[in-house]
Amino acid sequence: MKGRGEGSFYYSWMAILLNGFSALSANATDVLPVGVRAAAFVFGSSEGIRDGFNDAGRVQSLSYDINRSVTLQELAEEEPKLKTLQNALNSLGSEEFGDSLLVADIYADISVNQRQYVSALLWGVTNKITLGMQIPYIRRDTKASFKVSTVNNAAEIQKMIGEIPQISDGLAQLAATNIDTARFSESIFTENGYKIPSSFSIGGMGNIEFEGRYGYIQNSFLKFTLKSGMKVPTAQHKIDLRNILDRELDDPHYSYKLTSAHDFKLIPNVLALNTSVTGVFRRPYKKLTGVAKSADQILPNLNDPEQVVTVNYYKGVMLDAQVGLVLDVYKGAFSLGTNYVYNKNPKLMVYGPGDLDYSPLTKNTESVSHVVEFSAELSSIPLFLSGKMPLPGKFVLTWSQPVAGKNTLFTPYGRMDMIMLF
């Protein structure tokens, strides 16, 4: 059953990733003294992801493009006899029995929970250079359901119009036909090689990240640091093309980042201003993808070898800018912070073989997000230096709250950082 403009929902459902989630991003301007190491563990959780910002900046459900009413005209495209019956009924009078013959409403519900467990190690090579690496483990639980509610008025119309040759036979046949969720599921999904949407869980290692920091200015008033990093596509999960909701656990490509981070002590030992600008270059990559032949297809037909092809993807350069304030509440042992994060992604570029419709793959892929973060930090370092604590370390709690965006998920999440120096 062909919908109108429905082919894009498969592609526009965005990957559920906590972008920028990194153990190495904590204390962005800090470098370690020579010989000092830091072990970090970070836990982040985003629960019940159901919505996203659309291309107009409004919040809408992830299943928005799926939930719709299917008109009789659309249903009749698959069955010419139904169209003939509709026209015959409409010709009987002004009540237009034909248009009310059959109505179907499609409902889908999607909710995602994602958790990340990140272990990291940093090492002070010199007093100005720190090297580090992190290994994430990602767990994603997707809850999904699909159902269709239909109203078949054939029997009622038969009672109202009485016995009419040919029309009565058609109404009797339609009244006996079971047009339900199973029928739609077969037509939309099963016949095209897909599984019917349902709940599932995946988990595995994400992309390993390596980072180097050079603190070229480190004094009581200013901390300026250059950071470079590389992510290696070590994520273990392989996408099941038959599952329209399955996505990578992490980006399937190499990426390189360069960050300039700055810490200004506005009031020494009381108030600091932190800023940073990051550019991330993502290498082009290839991925096996189902691609429709035309916009008329709801989904690409996975049973057609010509519609399952290797597609080349290029994401371009991502820009991330942050500015925040940190208030020292008590002698470096307890501080509060707030941070604004701006993130921008260019439009995805793709190309592949054959005369296929690649436009849905790039539709609404340019994105902008505006996020506000609030954090509280406990540090034992001042007490350790004064001989009152046996171990130096930090414990940080952060809440990240999206406030606006375009073509990106609405994903508030909490984060916990634990850092130990040794």
Looking at the chain, the whole-number percentage of residues with pLDDT higher than 90 is 57
Q: From residue 300, give the alpha-carbon distance in Å to each of 42, 159, 293, 351.
A: 39, 42, 7, 16
The pLDDT confidence band at residue 114, using thresholds 50, 70 and 90, is: very high
Q: What pTM, to 2 d.p., does this model score?
A: 0.84
Residue 239 in this model has a pLDDT that exceeds 50: yes
Helices 154-161, 167-175: axis angle to 10 degrees equals 150
Residue 192 in this model has a pLDDT that exceeds 80: yes
Q: What pLDDT does 279 receive?
A: 97
Region 358-363: mean pLDDT is 92
| Nearest C-alpha neighbor of 200 from the set 116, 111, 302 | 111
Number of residues written out for the chain: 422
Q: What pLDDT does 166 receive?
A: 66
Strand order in the sheet with 408-409: 59-61, 51-53, 408-409
Cα separation of 18 and 7, whole Å? 26
| Nearest C-alpha neighbor of 133 from the set 205, 203, 207 | 207
For the chain, domain boundaries:
6-421
Which has the higher per-residue pLDDT, 262 or 83? 262
Looking at the chain, the whole-number percentage of residues with pLDDT higher than 70 is 85
Q: In angstroms, how far is CA 263 from the centroid of its own chain? A: 31
CATH class of 6-421: mainly beta
The two beta strands, 285-290 and 308-314, are antiparallel
CA atoms within 13 A on the CB side of 118: 29
Cα separation of 89 and 85, whole Å? 6
Region 351-358: mean pLDDT is 93
Residues paired with 335 in a beta bridge: 328, 377
**Of the segments 85-99, 157-171, 176-190, which one has the largest average pLDDT value?**
176-190
56-81 tens-digit pLDDT: 888 888 777 777 777 666 666 666 66
Q: What pLDDT does 78 receive?
A: 61
Region 146-170: mean pLDDT is 74
User: CA torsion, points 163, 166, 171, 173, in degrees to nearest 10?
Assistant: 130
Q: Which amino acid is it at 14? A: M
Helix (H) or strand (E) holding 211: strand 208-218
User: CA torsion, points 298, 238, 41, 321, in degrees to nearest 10?
Assistant: -50
Q: What pLDDT does 92 receive?
A: 66
Region 260-274: mean pLDDT is 94
Q: In angstroms, how far is CA 236 from the centroid of its own chain? A: 18
The pLDDT confidence band at residue 14, using thresholds 50, 70 and 90, is: very low
Instruction: Count CB-CB contacts under 10 A for residue 108.
Output: 20
Residue 201 in this model has a pLDDT that exceeds 50: yes
Q: What pLDDT does 132 receive?
A: 95
Q: What pLDDT does 8 receive?
A: 41
Cα separation of 9 and 106, whole Å? 13
